[in-house]
Amino acid sequence: MLFESFKEAIDIKDLNWNKDSRTFSAEISELRNVSPGAKEINVVNKDTNKTVKFTFVSTDKDGSGEDTYGWNYENKEMDLKLLVIND
């Protein structure tokens, strides 16, 4: 199920960065005001005052389709990804 966009942007300092895959990631329990499977997530860098919008792409599930491992987002314009891990 997809929820509405987060009302509050995620601070980039709350995310991990993988340079090789150009992917930000975090466990959902570490993020404030995060709804699993939101349609959009905004990530803000408060030092530069810039915000990047990520759009929902897919959900990672186990083989049975019952358990959710995480939610995948991307920003195609900047070739960036965001993985929110269900912990």
pLDDT per position as a tens digit, 40-77: 999 999 999 899 999 999 999 999 988 999 999 999 99
DSSP three-state, residue 45: strand
- The residue behind tokens 């340079």 is 19
Which residues pair with residue 75 across a beta bridge? 80
> Tell me, what's the pLDDT at 32?
75
Whole-angstrom Cα Rg for the chain: 12
Write down the H helix ranges in the chain.
none
Q: What is the pLDDT of residue 23?
A: 98
Tell me the mean pLDDT in the region 7-36. 88
Joined tokens for residue 54: 């990520």
Query: What pLDDT shows up at residue 18?
Result: 98
For residues 73 and 82, give the distance between their C-alpha atoms in angstroms, rounded to a whole number: 5
Using the predicted structure, report yes or no on whether residue 34 has a pLDDT greater than 80: no
pLDDT in the model for residue 69? 94
